[in-house]
Amino acid sequence: MVLRLQNIQKSFTSGFLMRRRQVLHGLDLSIEAGEAYALLGANGAGKSTTLRILLGLARPDSGSGSLLGKPLGDCAARRRLGYLPENPTFHEQLTAREFLRYGAGLLGLGGPELAARIDELLERVELASASQTRLRKLSKGMVQRLGLAQALLGDPELLVLDEPMSGLDPPGRKLVRDLILEQRQQGKTVLFSTHILSDVEVVCTRAGILRDGCVATELCLDDLTRLRAESVELTVSALDERDERRLALLAQSTLRAGRIVHFTVAPSEAQELLQAALDAGGRLESMQPRRASLEDIYLEVARLRSPAAAAKRRDSVPAGGDR
Amino acid sequence: MTRHVSLFVLPILLVATAVAGRAGQAQVRARPKRAVAALPGIPFLEFTALGYREAAADLAWMQAVQYYGQHRQGGNDLSEFGHFLEAVNTLDPRYEHAYVLGAVVLATDGGDLDAALEVLRRGARANPESGTCAFEMGFLSYVIGNDADKAMRYFALAEQDAEQQERAHRFRAFLSRRLGRLETAYLLWQDLYKSTESPSLRIVAQESMRRIEDELRQRGQVVP
Amino acid sequence: MLQRVWTIARWTMVELLRERVLYVVLLFAAVLVGGSTVLTPLTPGAQKKVVVDLGLAAIDALGILVILLSGTSIVRRDMDRRSLDVLLTKPLTRLEYLGGKWLGLVATLLVLTVAMSVILITSLEACGFGWQARYLPAILGSGLGMLVMASIAVLFSTFTSPMLGALFTLALFVGGSLSEGMLRTVGAAGGNPLLESLSLAIPNMGLFNLRGDAVHGTGVVPGQFLVASCYAVLYVATALTLAATVFRRRDFR
């Protein structure tokens, strides 16, 4: 087991009156080697606090845990992990290359291989051209990518990423996703927090939904497939009204705005509707999957897992169907 | 604010501020002169100077000199001069210039030689390795007090400080001749002639020795 | 351990020097040149003393200014920028981190003090006053004072905001500079145990003020310097240990 948290309680005091706020209520979490685990939760659910306790940056009020076979807060274990915090700005006066050399110095890395390793990482996160630029001149996304390179410096066994996709443009998100998949393929363990569901279904082997200060439910690979789009929104232009009425029969709903028509359609019907629209001379403007919210997924998973719902499903759904 | 508006407003503001500044300066100048107000009371000086006592003493010294300059031009009656010098020496007890100026002013403007010598005695106690105050005591004793004997003793004391040695030695040689101790004066000038590195002083010494030789010969005495 | 402390110190210094701290050297040159141009004609007989006093006092005061402006936010800024999270998840103890930060600040102050001293020496020589080796202990004394004040700034930066930290550090500097005179005054009034114990807690900055002896040429007794050095080392060790104790217990959100 790479990491384990057991019955973690954590509260913070704030303000002049030192008001106490409980953030984690008996959180349990365990992750095996080679897993890519997503910690899902709304803002303020305690995702970052959980990661911080795990990394020894915060102390639990009670509970226990281990990280890479050592107790929480152990210095030696940190040599084998890489961490990317949420919304970093880092050392604004250092250049990207200097920042990586700083991190390498603390990991005890050096010698001629270090320069090559830094070049390789800068190349990998597409910052080679900005290697001599000071961090204060880099965009938020670039700093985020640099943070990722820094986390990978020591070739860690465990990669902990706090909201790694936030602040990134679509190519940046793809880069992070690819990196996580790469780590997984190399047998490394990845733990990351996010509130964006689309990140989860592509790269994760398991995910936990954090709610009310504990992992309310865990999604396995099977559950993750359920996170697929509930419906697809197709935007088509250059369709006349007759064709629109004809195509509306296939869609769940239709909305016209000038020359543009928005169709909301079940994922299974999307292909057929798109083909029919193109045949009718329409032009595809955009196609976007619509997903359930985190809350919906949570309720859905809870409903599916409850004994009553399971019994009902057995009665009503013929063999092979899940919904 | 658009660029044009600020271009228009900024010069007006600058001129207005300058005019107000001039008016303010005039008002401050018109206030009755109270030099002492510029320095805090003596017991608080140490506190207000923090650790920078020497630099603060320099500022107090600057004010003391200014105040004396004003007096010379008829601007004040020196009534607060003592406060300034006390301020300098409270902040920096080894500030010799303050003792010297204080003593000179007391002896000349105040006509009180004893008080002046007392100030210098305090200065000498605060600076045991320096002969500056001793030299000034000798100088004032002779110039103001007309007491060459006393002055000789002070100059001999001042000579123990290498920095004052040449100056004090020269005064002792000069006074010895005035007191009619020609042999002593001759030997002192001879010492100076041998030891000094200043060519002009060597000429003065040589000239003095020649004159003393003449005087000794006239008296029928032997040149030492 | 030393390598990690050195790494933190090195990059802390690089960052501080790039943050326009070096402008302090320009400020020093301006104070020295401006001050001596204005003051020397007004202080007949004491021109050289005035330039030396001004130079030595400015080296000391500007060092304290840098500590107040940069030192008191040295840990807090790492927290705000999330650099601290990254550093503390490397194999680095919190004591090593604090030690490195202090050392980085001290190295920056060393660079600044050397630069200011070179300017002072150059201007004394240029004015024909001449630099004398006896001024050196005064600068070294200021350096010892800076070590102590830097450790206090690091201590405050571990648990309070930069503004409050600067305020507390300044209060301790003022208190430390006054403690000698205050004790004398209080001693004359019969002694106040509260004030006396308080004066032991605040740094005795008077001990590091060797400017008077240096300027008047009475010379600094080696024993005096030794006592000041031992006191500085002990005070720094105490302040940093206290900082580490506070910092070890801290949670980072």
For chain C, give every domain's residue range. Answer: 2-249
B186: nearest Cα among B222, B138, B146, B149: B222
Contact B177, B208 (CB under 8 A): yes
Contact A157, A68 (CB under 8 A): yes
Buried b (16+ CB within 10 A) or exposed e, B79-107: ebbebbbbbbbbbbbbbbbbbbbbbbbbb
Angle at B95 between CA B89 and CA B99, to 5 degrees: 75
Which of C42, C56, C177 shows the shortest C-beta gap to B62? C42
Percent share of chain B, pLDDT over 70: 90
Nearest CA in chain C to B128: C218
Query: What are the phi and psi torsion angles at A160 (to 5°)?
Result: -110, 120
Question: Which pLDDT score, from 0 to 100, does residue A51 have?
Answer: 92
User: pLDDT (tens digit, 9 = 90+) per residue, C171-188?
Assistant: 999 888 876 666 666 665
CB of A256 within 8 Å of a chain C CB? The answer is no
Q: Half-sphere exposure (CA, 13 Å, Cβ side) for A301? A: 21
Question: Which pLDDT score, from 0 to 100, does residue B39 have?
Answer: 59
Nearest CA in chain C to B55: C53
pLDDT lower than 70: segments of chain A: 221-229, 291-295, 298-323
Question: Which pLDDT score, from 0 to 100, does residue A313 have?
Answer: 47
Would you tell me which residues 157-176 of chain A have a C-beta closer than 8 angstroms to some C-beta of chain C? 160
* Chain B residues with at least one Cβ partner in C under 8 Å: 43, 46-47, 50-55, 57-58, 61-62, 65-66, 92, 94-95, 97, 100-101, 127, 129
A55: nearest Cα among C3, C82, C252: C252
Contact A108 C11 (CB under 8 A): no
Contact A75 C11 (CB under 8 A): no
Query: What are the phi and psi torsion angles at A147 (to 5°)?
Result: -60, -35
Identity of the residue numbered B20: A
**Fold agreement between A3-224 and A230-290:** no
Contact A208, A29 (CB under 8 A): yes
Question: Given a contact as 3+ CB pairs under 8 Å, which chains touch A?
Answer: C
User: pLDDT (tens digit, 9 = 90+) per residue, B122-155?
Assistant: 999 998 888 899 999 999 999 888 888 899 899 9
CB of C34 within 8 Å of a chain B CB? The answer is no
Q: How confident is the model at residue B31 (pLDDT cuts 50, 70, 90)?
A: low
CA dist., res. B166 & res. B152, Å (int): 14
Contact C225, C207 (CB under 8 A): no
A294: nearest Cα among A48, A41, A2: A41
Which of A83, A106, A108 shows the shortest C-beta gap to C85? A83
For residue B3, pLDDT over 70 is answered with no
For chain A, give every domain's residue range. Answer: 3-224, 230-290
What CATH superfamily classification does A3-224 receive?
A: P-loop containing nucleotide triphosphate hydrolases (3.40.50.300)
Contact A105 C3 (CB under 8 A): yes
Contact A253, A261 (CB under 8 A): no
Nearest CA in chain B to C52: B55
Which of C15, C88, C251 shows the shortest C-beta gap to A93? C15
ipTM of the complex as predicted: 0.85
Mean pLDDT, rounded, for B67-78? 84
CA dist., res. A85 & res. A148, Å (int): 9
Helix (H, G, I), strand (E, B) or coil at A5: strand
Contact B55 C212 (CB under 8 A): no
Helix (H) or strand (E) holding A231: strand A231-237
With beta carbons under 8 A apart, name residues in chain B contacting C182.
Answer: 47
Contact C81, A92 (CB under 8 A): yes
Q: Chain B closest CA to C141's CA: distance in Å?
A: 12
**CA B160 to centroid of chain Cα atoms:** 20
Q: How confident is the model at residue B9 (pLDDT cuts 50, 70, 90)?
A: confident
For residue C207, pLDDT over 90 is answered with no
CA dist., res. B65 & res. B97, Å (int): 10
Would you tell me which residues 164-203 of chain C have a C-beta closer than 8 angstroms to some C-beta of chain B? 174, 177-178, 181-182, 185
Contact A83 C7 (CB under 8 A): no
Which of C7, C81, C251 shows the shortest C-beta gap to A102? C7
Give the dihedral of Cα atoms B164, B169, B175, B179; nearest 10 deg. Answer: 140
CA dist., res. A261 & res. A284, Å (int): 10
- Interface-testing mutation among B45, B47, B62, B136, with chain C (most C C-beta atoms within 10 A): B62
Which of A12, A75, A87 shows the shortest C-beta gap to C82? A87
CB of C60 within 8 Å of a chain B CB? The answer is yes
How many CB atoms are closer than 10 A to CB A259? 11
CATH topology of domain A230-290: Alpha-Beta Plaits (3.30.70)
CA dist., res. C51 & res. C41, Å (int): 11
The residue behind tokens 């619509």 is A290
Nearest CA in chain C to A151: C86
With beta carbons under 8 A apart, name residues in chain B contacting C61.
Answer: 52
Question: Given a contact as 3+ CB pairs under 8 Å, which chains touch B?
Answer: C
Phi/psi class of residue A121: alpha, beta or left (left: φ > 0; alpha: ψ in -120 to 50)? alpha
Q: Do chain A and chain C touch with ≥3 beta carbon pairs under 8 Å?
A: yes
A225: nearest Cα among A297, A311, A320, A314: A297
CB of A55 within 8 Å of a chain C CB? The answer is yes
Contact C91 A106 (CB under 8 A): yes
Contact A91 C81 (CB under 8 A): yes
From edge to edge, which strands make up the β-sheet containing A3-14? A19-31, A3-14, A62-67, A70-71
Residue C151, exposed/middle/buried by CB under 10 A (0-12, 13-18, 19+)? buried
For residue C200, pLDDT over 60 is answered with yes
Contact C43 B92 (CB under 8 A): no
Q: Chain C closest CA to B49's CA: distance in Å?
A: 9
Q: Do chain A and chain B touch with ≥3 beta carbon pairs under 8 Å?
A: no
From edge to edge, which strands make up the β-sheet containing A260-265? A253-257, A260-265, A231-237, A283-290
Identity of the residue numbered B75: G
With beta carbons under 8 A apart, name residues in chain B contacting C215.
Answer: 54
For residue C120, pLDDT over 70 is answered with yes
Which of C42, C56, C205 shows the shortest C-beta gap to B66? C42
Angle at C100 between CA C94 and CA C104, to 5 degrees: 150
CA dist., res. A173 & res. A125, Å (int): 11
User: pLDDT (tens digit, 9 = 90+) per residue, B175-224?
Assistant: 888 888 888 889 889 988 888 888 888 998 999 899 988 888 888 777 77
Contact C216 B47 (CB under 8 A): no
Which of C43, C206, C218 shows the shortest C-beta gap to B61? C43
CA dist., res. B40 & res. C28, Å (int): 27
Q: Chain C closest CA to A105's CA: distance in Å?
A: 6
CA dist., res. B99 & res. B57, Å (int): 13
Would you tell me which residues 225-244 of chain C have a C-beta closer than 8 angstroms to some C-beta of chain A? none
Question: Which pLDDT score, from 0 to 100, does residue B61 have?
Answer: 85
B·C CB contacts under 8 A: 62
Mean pLDDT, rounded, for C7-32? 90
Residue B29, exposed/middle/buried by CB under 10 A (0-12, 13-18, 19+)? exposed
Helix (H) or strand (E) holding C197: helix C193-201
Question: Which pLDDT score, from 0 to 100, does residue C146 have?
Answer: 95
Contact A83 C89 (CB under 8 A): yes
CA dist., res. C210 & res. C223, Å (int): 13
Contact C86 A98 (CB under 8 A): no
With beta carbons under 8 A apart, name residues in chain C contacting A88.
Answer: 81-83, 85-86
Which of B51, B54, B129 shows the shortest C-beta gap to C215? B54
Which of C3, C11, C88 shows the shortest C-beta gap to A91? C11
Contact A103 C14 (CB under 8 A): no
Identify any residues that bridge with A6 across adjacent strands, giving them in sequence order.
A64
Identify any residues that bridge with A136 across adjacent strands, giving them in sequence order.
none
Question: Which pLDDT score, from 0 to 100, does residue A258 have?
Answer: 85
CB of C245 within 8 Å of a chain B CB? The answer is no
Q: How confident is the model at residue B35 (pLDDT cuts 50, 70, 90)?
A: very low
CA dist., res. C147 & res. A228, Å (int): 61
Identify any residues that bridge with C118 across adjacent strands, giving them in sequence order.
none
C208: nearest Cα among C186, C236, C234, C177: C177
Contact C170, C68 (CB under 8 A): yes
Q: Encoding tokens for residue B199?
A: 């060519």
- Interface-testing mutation among A24, A72, A91, with chain C (most C C-beta atoms within 10 A): A91
Q: How confident is the model at residue C142 (pLDDT cuts 50, 70, 90)?
A: very high
**Strand pairing category for A260-265 and A253-257:** antiparallel
Helix (H, G, I), strand (E, B) or coil at C192: coil
CA dist., res. A157 & res. A76, Å (int): 13
